[in-house]
Chain A
């Protein structure tokens, strides 16, 4: 007789009823209400686990970078996610890699990925999946997400840029783009891929906080300079680190604090101010230049350099204090009301001088999210000015500067 039949046999016979006062043998008695202090998180908000988004073309060196991070002593225990992204953070195709192992296994094996129910829940699926992962493997205190074929990192970065107030378990720390110095100019000249609106290589650079200009040992001085110029034209505020085999000091990549107001924005430095031979990688040693609406270069530029992509950076300045409310209204319009002929903003980084504030303020915008947070106080006698770097398509410096000027406090 199989087990089921035996059970059914036992069930066919009515057992003897027992007295009502009898207790069960194995006590599943009223569980003592546990001291719920144990459940509470520590006083005050926990620091979210930083997430670094690593993008770049196949072959640029992303895996090399990740292996370097995993094999260096920096005190973090990193979880590595690899993902075949589409336009959104598709959790179902996420793979996670054990630091010691070779194979990547589906994230779904690590965490219980509930079928996404929006159901008035604030955190998107990717954030929830990462939090679930951290709950199960509390030893991780850093997350690296390597993306392959991500045409536009903007939405993914925005999805990871959780509100500080939300006290999410994870928050975006930096977008790191690995660029192949040998091939970048060709890749920037590539037309957009199927279904994509923009050149993938350009978008990846536009959203970068840090660019690793990799394989410098495989190109000539002149090619390297040209690559720098391309990068500066698209994203003037990212820190560009030329390297070979992604050999950079990890302090520029990990736990940068860029989105929390503590990190280096790359907006403040004026490249003309640094001395020849300066090796600080966070200074933009490429050429800085302005663009008008046709992408023609205006100043400080070698005439034979031609930009391959239609994404570029515009720098705006203002010497007078700004009215925050008007500034926010202006940003709302720029980011949320996109028209087919108007500016298409990807990234904004700014240091702001606001009316009535003793501290400088920092503004970050990624895709369609933006935030203004207080940062370091102005020093005595320091000249207070605002400087904004806007990165995107169809950016017309004149009209954008006028828009900013209208935000001056009256």
Chain B
């Protein structure tokens, strides 16, 4: 696979930026990034050799394919029966996190033993007072970081660049990007393009006009996690994708509207599935919403499919996410060789929206709610331009 979108004639010499005519033969043999291998002359190539040859081995400085759930790197793209047009691209070296940032248990080990063995995997802890404030603050930060990522989305921008924006914004606020090294996840945010349902790993692939991309941000601030995601359009997208995004968002809104003390967690799936099915779309069953607080993932399980056996009744103070993943075609997923990326089995597109909620006496508080400054989602853009044309004021 040629790893660059630039046509051959426009490649620049890696050293001096003049038009390139030659390439490193080792890189050609290993099928590495073309634009790291292009040179204008043997002289530039020879001058770059000492640094360049490091790319021929997997190492912490190079861009490689993720393997073994992020614990490994490969120079070559794995063999796989890809379900759609998308392929993995190489991922950048792991970013650094300053010592001053408080870190969760998985930062150094990649494992979450405390979380996995916690009582909270069985029984949620309701949050009030200081705890609720702490979670609220984490969610607000998560919202701001997601909005920054949204603003960065454009054709030609790589998902690695989105990761950089998220990583730096999170660190700047004194928080830790929760996905970073969670079971060896190699990046600070999940970016899921087109047929990817969730857990896409940011890489070197530039977003293309017509893509849809979900950005899933989680932050760990002062010991509390905030988790949210939205799916964005890149440039101009087709009507099928627009309908997919809008319906998915509506599924989430309808589910949230029903959340109140006494509501059964198992009923959330009935609401979502009814709305998705009515639109001819399917609901992913393999991934679910989850409790969250001082742990990243804990009880309750919030399934998005109908007729599930989830235990539990919503109680005041309980904090959890609802994050439906809705698909144009089949709901079934197939995991990529990197061990994380979940693709639809038929290669058709999937969208997701997620909010983190706190149950209140009357209903629920959407902790990750959109701000007036949040960049508009596709239908908000169209509503706004329509309003501008007709001179109407639309109620928000």
Among candidates A16, A123, A161, A371, residue contacting B42 with C-beta atoms closer than 8 Å: A16
Contact of A378 with B by CB under 8 A: no
CA distance A26 to B76 in the complex (A): 13
Contact of A34 with B by CB under 8 A: yes
Quick one: given A20-B23, A39-B83, are A118 and B290 in contact (CB under 8 Å)? yes
For chain A residues 6-47, which have a beta carbon within 8 Å of chain B? 11, 14-22, 24-26, 28-31, 33-34, 36, 38-41
Which of the candidate stretches A109-117, A138-146, A185-193, A276-284 sits at the interface with the other chain? A109-117
CA distance A123 to B305 in the complex (A): 13
Which A residue sits closest to B354, measured CB to CB?
A: A120
For chain A residues 139-186, which have a beta carbon within 8 Å of chain B? 161, 163-167
Quick one: given A33-B82, A33-B85, A116-B116, are A14 and B46 in contact (CB under 8 Å)? yes
Residues of B within 8 A of A22 (CB): 23, 28
Beta-carbon contacts of B22-59 to A below 8 Å, as 1s and 0s? 11111011010000001101100110010001001000
Task: Give the shortest distance, in Å, between A297 (CB) and chain B (any CB).
Answer: 34
Residues of B within 8 A of A379 (CB): none
Residues of A within 8 A of B346 (CB): 36, 39-40
Q: Do A28 and B31 touch across chains, with their CB atoms under 8 A apart?
A: yes
Quick one: given A28-B1, A121-B286, are A17 and B334 in contact (CB under 8 Å)? no
Residues of B within 8 A of A17 (CB): 22-25, 39, 41-42, 45
Task: Give the shortest distance, in Å, between A170 (CB) and chain B (any CB).
Answer: 14
Residues of B within 8 A of A161 (CB): 309
Which A residue sits closest to B42, measured CB to CB?
A: A17
Residues of A within 8 A of B112 (CB): 117
Contact of B8 with A by CB under 8 A: yes
Task: Give the shortest distance, in Å, between B341 (CB) and chain A (any CB).
Answer: 13
Quick one: given A16-B42, A119-B182, A165-B306, are A21 and B345 in contact (CB under 8 Å)? no
CA distance A18 to B23 in the complex (A): 5
Among candidates B11, B183, B305, B321, residue contacting A166 with C-beta atoms closer than 8 Å: B305
Contact of B62 with A by CB under 8 A: no
Among candidates A29, A34, A120, A165, residue contacting B287 with C-beta atoms closer than 8 Å: A120
Contact of A335 with B by CB under 8 A: yes
CA distance A335 to B266 in the complex (A): 15
Q: Do B301 and A122 touch across chains, with their CB atoms under 8 A apart?
A: yes
Contact of B155 with A by CB under 8 A: no
Q: Do B29 and A24 touch across chains, with their CB atoms under 8 A apart?
A: yes
Among candidates B115, B286, B311, B339, residue contacting A118 with C-beta atoms closer than 8 Å: B115
Quick one: given A14-B46, A115-B183, are A165 and B56 in contact (CB under 8 Å)? no
Among candidates A15, A21, A163, residue contacting B26 with C-beta atoms closer than 8 Å: A15
CA distance A119 to B2 in the complex (A): 33
Which B residue sits closest to A163, measured CB to CB?
A: B308
Contact of B88 with A by CB under 8 A: no
Residues of B within 8 A of A332 (CB): 264, 313
CA distance A26 to B307 in the complex (A): 51
Among candidates A117, A166, A368, residue contacting B311 with C-beta atoms closer than 8 Å: A368
Quick one: given A11-B56, A335-B311, A368-B311, are A30 and B23 in contact (CB under 8 Å)? no
Q: Do B21 and A20 touch across chains, with their CB atoms under 8 A apart?
A: yes
Task: Give the shortest distance, in Å, between B146 (CB) and chain A (any CB).
Answer: 17
Interface centre among A34, A36, A116 (most CB of B within 10 A): A36
Q: Do A39 and B23 touch across chains, with their CB atoms under 8 A apart?
A: no
Among candidates A15, A21, A165, A370, residue contacting B285 with C-beta atoms closer than 8 Å: A165
Residues of A within 8 A of B313 (CB): 332, 336
For chain B residues 295-311, which have a beta carbon within 8 Å of chain A? 296-298, 301, 303, 305-309, 311
Task: Give the shortest distance, in Å, between B149 (CB) and chain A (any CB).
Answer: 20
Q: Do A370 and B309 touch across chains, with their CB atoms under 8 A apart?
A: yes
Contact of A265 with B by CB under 8 A: no
For chain A residues 346-387, which have a beta carbon within 8 Å of chain B? 368-371
Q: Do B311 and A369 touch across chains, with their CB atoms under 8 A apart?
A: yes
Contact of B203 with A by CB under 8 A: no
If over half of B's interface residues share one DSSP class (helix, strand or loop), that class is named, otherwise mixed; here it is loop
Q: Do B309 and A336 touch across chains, with their CB atoms under 8 A apart?
A: no
Residues of B within 8 A of A20 (CB): 8, 11, 20-23, 38
Number of interface residues of B (CB under 8 A): 69
Q: Do A336 and B1 touch across chains, with their CB atoms under 8 A apart?
A: no
Task: Give the shortest distance, in Å, between B261 (CB) and chain A (any CB).
Answer: 14
Among candidates A25, A118, A166, A371, residue contacting B29 with C-beta atoms closer than 8 Å: A25
Residues of A within 8 A of B305 (CB): 163, 165-166
Residues of A within 8 A of B323 (CB): 120
Contact of B102 with A by CB under 8 A: no
Residues of A within 8 A of B298 (CB): 118
Q: Do B23 and A19 touch across chains, with their CB atoms under 8 A apart?
A: yes
Which B residue sits closest to A369, measured CB to CB?
A: B309
CA distance A213 to B15 in the complex (A): 81
Residues of B within 8 A of A164 (CB): 307
Interface centre among B39, B83, B84 (most CB of A within 10 A): B83
Residues of B within 8 A of A28 (CB): 1, 31, 76-77
Quick one: given A122-B288, A371-B309, are A39 and B345 in contact (CB under 8 Å)? yes
Task: Give the shortest distance, in Å, between A161 (CB) and chain B (any CB).
Answer: 8
Q: Do B82 and A34 touch across chains, with their CB atoms under 8 A apart?
A: yes
Q: Do A118 and B297 touch across chains, with their CB atoms under 8 A apart?
A: yes
Residues of B within 8 A of A14 (CB): 45-46, 49
Q: Do A39 and B81 touch across chains, with their CB atoms under 8 A apart?
A: yes
Residues of A within 8 A of B53 (CB): 11
Beta-carbon contacts of B317-360 to A below 8 Å, as 1s and 0s? 00001010000001010100001000001110000000000000
Contact of B69 with A by CB under 8 A: yes
Among candidates B111, B296, B309, residue contacting A163 with C-beta atoms closer than 8 Å: B309
CA distance A19 to B83 in the complex (A): 34
Residues of A within 8 A of B345 (CB): 36, 39-41
Q: Do B116 and A36 touch across chains, with their CB atoms under 8 A apart?
A: no
Among candidates B31, B111, B288, B330, residue contacting A120 with C-beta atoms closer than 8 Å: B288
Contact of B121 with A by CB under 8 A: yes
Task: Give the shortest distance, in Å, between B292 (CB) and chain A (any CB).
Answer: 10
Interface centre among B77, B182, B305 (most CB of A within 10 A): B305
Quick one: given A18-B23, A36-B347, are A41 and B332 in contact (CB under 8 Å)? yes
Which A residue sits closest to B184, measured CB to CB?
A: A115
Contact of B289 with A by CB under 8 A: yes
Q: Do B42 and A24 touch across chains, with their CB atoms under 8 A apart?
A: no
Residues of A within 8 A of B83 (CB): 36, 39
Contact of B223 with A by CB under 8 A: no
Task: Give the shortest distance, in Å, between B225 (CB) and chain A (any CB).
Answer: 13
What are 13 A-B pairs at a CB distance below 8 A? Answer: A17-B22, A29-B1, A31-B82, A39-B83, A115-B111, A122-B301, A165-B285, A166-B285, A166-B286, A166-B308, A335-B311, A368-B311, A369-B309
Q: A40-B346, A165-B307 are in contact. List 19 more A-B contacts (CB 8 A).
A: A17-B42, A18-B28, A19-B23, A20-B20, A20-B21, A24-B29, A26-B29, A30-B2, A36-B83, A39-B83, A118-B298, A119-B296, A120-B321, A121-B287, A122-B288, A122-B301, A163-B285, A163-B303, A163-B305
Which 7 pairs, one residue from A and one from B, show the smallest C-beta to C-beta distance?
A17-B22, A117-B183, A14-B49, A17-B45, A118-B297, A14-B46, A369-B309
